[in-house]
Structure 1
Amino acid sequence: MAEIPGLPARRAALHMLDAVLRRGETLEQAEGAALRSVRAAPDRALAVAIASEALRWLVDFDALIDSATNKRLPDDAKPRAVLRLMLAQWLRLGTPPHAVIATALPLLGVGPRRLAHGVFSTLAKQNAALPEVPTLPEAARTRWGEAAARIAAGLADPPPLDLALRDPGEATSLAVQLGGESLASGHVRLPRGTPVEQLPGFAGGGWWVQDLAASLPARLLGGGEGRHVLDLCAAPGGKTLQLAAAGWQVTALDVSKRRLDLLKDNLKRTGLKAGVVRADALTWEPKHRFDAILLDAPCTATGTARRHPDVLHRIGPRQIAEMAELQTALLARAAEWLKPGGVLVYASCSLEREEGEEQLGKVDLEPLPIRAEELPADISPAPEGWVRTDPGMLAEAGGLDGFFIARFRA
């Protein structure tokens, strides 16, 4: 018997959801195995979209499911997982209820199928709706405190597409050509869903994809004028490209071969130059000191929840403590490699204080405050001179990833 059209994509979405919630994998890690049997690119994209929206609105989907059951389903029950995917398709992706039922219920056995059908039909008859803003998991709400409501508002939708340009002077013309807007020098923002490879300038290497917030750390080093900079934990390379385009002689170091291969591909496509080193920053020893170092440290990446909603459910105290310890060690190493008067920019794409503000007292360097005029409009430094962005900032323009950035001088 031929398989129901669309069923493989839904099965893949179910596998991804299980990998994230039960095994703690990232959504990106889960995609490889889950999508192995899904051939068509649109079906693969659909599977990822279903799983992503299920994770983005998980708390609210669970509340709807619980409102339509007499006895609460266990968190790890398969009917609950399938219902999450059904609601994601109906309430977030606009799939008609009859199509949702036809492509999702075959994922369950006879008994659970009846249960899921009944719950979904009840909610459909009630014209169930989601709140305007997704409800954050309780642990995240507690950690993010007063900023939690603003952050949640910034997570309602996947982010737009940000481009960083090799030649900042082309930003205005490219924005007009592509129907986007420029929020900073060398930046263009486009509506989400734009096929990257089909955009003008991609093949010629005129730009690369990089969230506006992710572009801030390299901007704070200014022009290189031939000086030497170390991009520590560099892959997949957006900041390396920025630094090279700004006239720095770049040494790009990372431990991941796969991610360094992406960096090399981006260097080749853009025609920019950098020395690429594969090594563990905790054991590597440079041959010379540097005028500047950019440490975009490995972190929990909770600031990327707009595009990676799995972090809302995978990250807890253990992961935060592990990353904070690693960041402290990397900062200590980087501080040793600066020339006298050299500048270090530390950044993490995390919303956690342990990976941001609490790292400041562990750096044996002089703070070099970030000034408002160095930042795009509507992004301001704290009085202490560091910067924190979050997904709720620049909301009308499509938001930002969450970053912590601080600058020091040797």
Structure 2
Amino acid sequence: MARSSPAAEEDIPGVPARRAALRLLDAVLRRGDPLDQAAPPVLRGIERGDDRALALAIAHEALRWMPDLDRLIDSATRQPLPDDAKARSVLRLMLAQALRLGLPPHAVIATGLPLLVGGPRRLAHGVFSAVLRGDGLPEAPTLPHAVHDRWSAAWPGRVDAIAAGLAVPPPLDLSLRDAARTAEWADRLGGVSLAPGHVRLARSGPIEQIEGFAEGAWWVQDLAATVPARLLGPGEGRRVLDLCAAPGGKTMQLAAAGWQVTVLDKSARRLERLGENVARIGLAVDVVVADAMQWRPAELYDAVLIDAPCSASGTCRRHPDVLHRLVDQSGLEDLQRGLLERASGALRADGRLVYAVCSLEPGEGEAQAAWVKALGPVPITPNQLPDGIAPTPEGWFRSDPGMLAEAGGIDGFFAAMWEK
């Protein structure tokens, strides 16, 4: 039988989604792009929302389980495929579909092999079939070597739990505009609450179709990410500066809690998105487009919240691409210290400063908090944190993806608070 042409194979249902997943994998592994940044242009040509979601799910699972998928591929080949070989990438995607997404092998083969135009299709078919006859994947994903070595040194008693926390995509966390209606919204949405103003749902369908979206009753925000704003408590009309604010989850928390919020970010595009989010929720904030390292406030604030630029390694359970993009963070750590100094200067006497990063790197969290000497530490108390998480002995907040496992997990985060 003659082999069909590449153009004809592109017409096979499902092939465009798999080709998009391959491009996403290439963007992360070869160019080092964040998946969220690479996705919009790659998925733009795919009309069906289900196909766009499938492409993202395939790429996510391939990245989440990549060391284990590579081990399976290598076990079925006489000579290892080069790390950057297209056949290896295609096999990663094919195996992720069969072993993690539960798609039928015949459908995976029919939509995967066309990606290897002019390539070793017979080899890929043979490797795929051989792997499916084997033992499959472990219960928890294996961390990339560099990540495992660094986190083993930083968190020797937690690294296995962190890896286990990455095994499945996380549930969907919502922050409520009105925390007093937590029980009502948990019941209406069929979710559970782990803190006031929070509802957790099993992932299901487009966000826009969930009840309450159109009326601005909630926004998507991981439970860990809600802690920094919670630390400042009710605003009661006081003024707070939200540095590096976009996309605005903490901004909306502060505004909903009664703070007069000034949001500052140097990215006009990100602030435009923040403005759209705030408008949907029905809140009002003052927006400033500026570099926090250059901007000078006209008057001092009662509180400052820094959600500092960081490696974002703590978000690896929902953004597994970050595991393959972690590089030297010394430049970011210098910026973080600069932001802490600038924020201190924007505080009035008795004002409070909260510093936070969505990072598992101690150099971006614990080391930065220990560096602050000019302000008086304000220990975080257990009642300020979600049930099941306690403050550190230093009075800081530290979470990792291995915590709250029975409740669906939580992102890795760090926060500390001081008073001027």
Same fold (TM over 0.5): yes
- Which residue pairs with 2:3 in the alignment? none
- The DSSP-based 3-state class of the residue aligned with 2:120 is helix
- Match of 1:343, as an amino acid? R
- Which residue pairs with 1:399 in the alignment? 409
- Match of 1:211, as an amino acid? D
Listed as ranges, the gaps of 5+ residues in structure 1 are none
1:260 aligns with 2:247: no
Quote the offset at 1:37 in angstroms.
2.4
Q: Counterparts of 1:387 and 1:82 in 2: how far apart (Å)?
A: 41
- The DSSP-based 3-state class of the residue aligned with 2:354 is strand
- Which residue pairs with 2:344 in the alignment? 335
CA 1:201–1:33: 2 relative to 1, 3 Å: closer
- Which residue pairs with 1:360 in the alignment? 369
Quote the offset at 1:395 in angstroms.
0.5
Listed as ranges, the gaps of 5+ residues in structure 2 are 1-6
Quote the offset at 1:38 in angstroms.
1.5
Q: Counterparts of 2:209 and 2:44 in 1: how far apart (Å)?
A: 25
Q: Which moved more, 1:298-307 or 1:137-146?
A: 137-146
- Which residue pairs with 2:131 in the alignment? 123
1:71 aligns with 2:82: no
The structure 2 residue matched to 1:376, chosen from 350, 373, 386, is 386
Q: 1:275-323: CA deviations, max 9, x gaps?
A: 011111011111111100000101110000111100001102x2x2121
Q: 1:1-33: CA deviations, max 9, x gaps?
A: 541111111111001101100111111121133
- Match of 2:322, as an amino acid? V
- Which residue pairs with 1:149 in the alignment? 160
Q: Counterparts of 1:128 and 1:321 in 2: how far apart (Å)?
A: 41
Q: Which moved more, 1:343-352 or 1:109-118?
A: 109-118
- Match of 2:59, as an amino acid? A
CA 1:359–1:150: 2 relative to 1, 3 Å: same
Q: 1:251-295: CA deviations, max 9, x gaps?
A: 011111221112111221111111011111011111111100000
8 Å CA contact 1:161–1:194 kept in 2: the answer is: no
Q: Counterparts of 1:267 and 1:373 in 2: how far apart (Å)?
A: 28
- Which residue pairs with 1:138 in the alignment? 145
- Which residue pairs with 2:225 in the alignment? 214
In percent, how many aligned pairs have the same letter? 63
Q: Which moved more, 1:336-345 or 1:359-368?
A: 359-368
CA 1:375–1:106: 2 relative to 1, 3 Å: same
Q: Which moved more, 1:355-364 or 1:223-232?
A: 355-364
- Match of 1:381, as an amino acid? P
Q: Counterparts of 1:286 and 1:342 in 2: how far apart (Å)?
A: 15
Q: Counterparts of 1:265 and 1:292 in 2: how far apart (Å)?
A: 24
1:37 aligns with 2:45: yes
8 Å CA contact 1:217–1:405 kept in 2: the answer is: yes
Task: Please list, as runs of the form range in 1=range in 2, the aligned pairs for 1:4-403 lying within 5 A after superposition.
Answer: 4-124=12-132, 126-145=133-152, 146=156, 147-316=158-327, 318=328, 320-363=329-372, 364-403=374-413
Q: 1:364-392: CA deviations, max 9, x gaps?
A: 21111101122121111001100110111
- Match of 1:235, as an amino acid? A
Q: 1:208-265: CA deviations, max 9, x gaps?
A: 1111100000000001111110011111111111101111110011111221112111
Q: Please report the TM-score for the alignment, with normalisation by the length of structure 1.
A: 0.97
- Match of 1:180, as an amino acid? G
Q: 1:317-336: CA deviations, max 9, x gaps?
A: x2x21211111111111111
Q: Counterparts of 2:100 and 2:269 in 1: how far apart (Å)?
A: 33
Q: Counterparts of 2:326 and 2:417 in 1: how far apart (Å)?
A: 27
Q: 1:155-186: CA deviations, max 9, x gaps?
A: 11111111111111111111111111011001
- The DSSP-based 3-state class of the residue aligned with 1:234 is coil
- The DSSP-based 3-state class of the residue aligned with 1:312 is helix
Aligned residues: 407
8 Å CA contact 1:64–1:128 kept in 2: the answer is: no
Q: Counterparts of 1:329 and 1:10 in 2: how far apart (Å)?
A: 43
Q: Which moved more, 1:257-266 or 1:96-105?
A: 257-266
Let me know the Cα RMSD of the aligned residues: 1.1
Q: Counterparts of 2:370 and 2:287 in 1: how far apart (Å)?
A: 31
Q: 1:81-137: CA deviations, max 9, x gaps?
A: 00000001000111111111100101113441111111011112x144111100001
8 Å CA contact 2:227–2:384 kept in 1: the answer is: no
- The DSSP-based 3-state class of the residue aligned with 2:352 is strand
